[in-house]
Amino acid sequence: MIKVLLMAHAVRKIQHQPVTLTYINGDKERRHIPDLGLTLADGTTAYVEVKPKKFVPEHLVKFNACAALLRKKDVDYFVVTDEQVGPKRAWYAQTIYDMAKRSAPADGLTALVDWVRERRSASVADVLGAGFSEPLLQHAVGRRQLLTDPSLELNPGSWLTTQDTADELLSLASWLGCMPWPPGTTGKTES
């Protein structure tokens, strides 16, 4: 999940087990530490619990209580399961992450980003057809110089854009593959 979030355009900071939440279950005080705390580009915070789907039912009271507590503070709480991440998406994220760690020719990276920026967006096929290499493309996406959709597939029909033209990509829910908990709510309170 962390590698996927590293590619998410809305995420600026990721913290492991960032806070302890105290809630009441029956007559007992309980504590819960979400797996991840996220600081988003707009300055807001969200918390993420990662749990295999088969274990979600036994944690419903905790998830509901924590989501209600955080909603009062205008903070979103997400419960992400193996269904949202999936092995294929995790593999794509790892591959792109590995390419981002490698060096890329500075002039090639600048040329690629400028080429996409001039067009406002381009498909992977367009980029490869223009003579840019797939490793350079993956490096640019992994470094968030170029942005793509949350699937991270980078197939020929996948589109790319730059930070300055990617407003529609900023939804954290689209990257996590789910809406804030509990399902069916809209997340943050309306003003």
| Cα–Cα dist 161/21, whole Å | 38
Residue 134 forms part of a structural domain: yes
Supply the pLDDT for residue 115: 96
Supply the pLDDT for residue 125: 97
Mean pLDDT of the chain: 88
Residue 187 forms part of a structural domain: no
Same domain, 93 and 68: no
CATH code at position 136? 1.10.10
Same domain, 72 and 93: no
* Those residues with Cβ within 8 angstroms of residue 152's Cβ, 6 or more apart along the chain or in another chain: 4, 7, 89, 92, 93, 96, 141
Name the residue among 108, 85, 116 with its Cα closest to residue 6: 85
pLDDT digits (tens, 9 = 90+) for 47-86: 999 999 999 999 999 999 999 999 999 999 999 998 888 8
Residue 100 forms part of a structural domain: yes
CATH code at position 19? 3.40.1350.10
Supply the pLDDT for residue 166: 56
Same domain, 69 and 91: no
Same domain, 55 and 103: no
Check residues 3 and 35 and name the one with the higher pLDDT.
Answer: 35
Same domain, 93 and 71: no
Domain that holds residue 29: 2-85+172-176
Burial of 28 (0-12, 13-18, 19+ CB in 10 A): exposed
Supply the pLDDT for residue 136: 94
Place of tokens 């619990």: 49
Residue 123 forms part of a structural domain: yes
The pLDDT of residue 173 is above 80 = yes
Residue 181 forms part of a structural domain: no
Domain count for the chain: 2
Supply the pLDDT for residue 75: 94
3-class SS string, 61-123? HHHHHHHHHHHCCCCEEEEECHHHHCHHHHHHHHHHHHHHHCCCCHHHHHHHHHHHHHHCCEE
Same domain, 79 and 103: no
Residue 90 amino acid letter: A
Supply the pLDDT for residue 185: 53
The pLDDT of residue 116 is above 90 = yes
Residue 149 forms part of a structural domain: yes
Residue 183 forms part of a structural domain: no
Q: What percent of the chain has pLDDT over 70?
A: 92
Under 8 Å between Cβ of 19 and 73: no
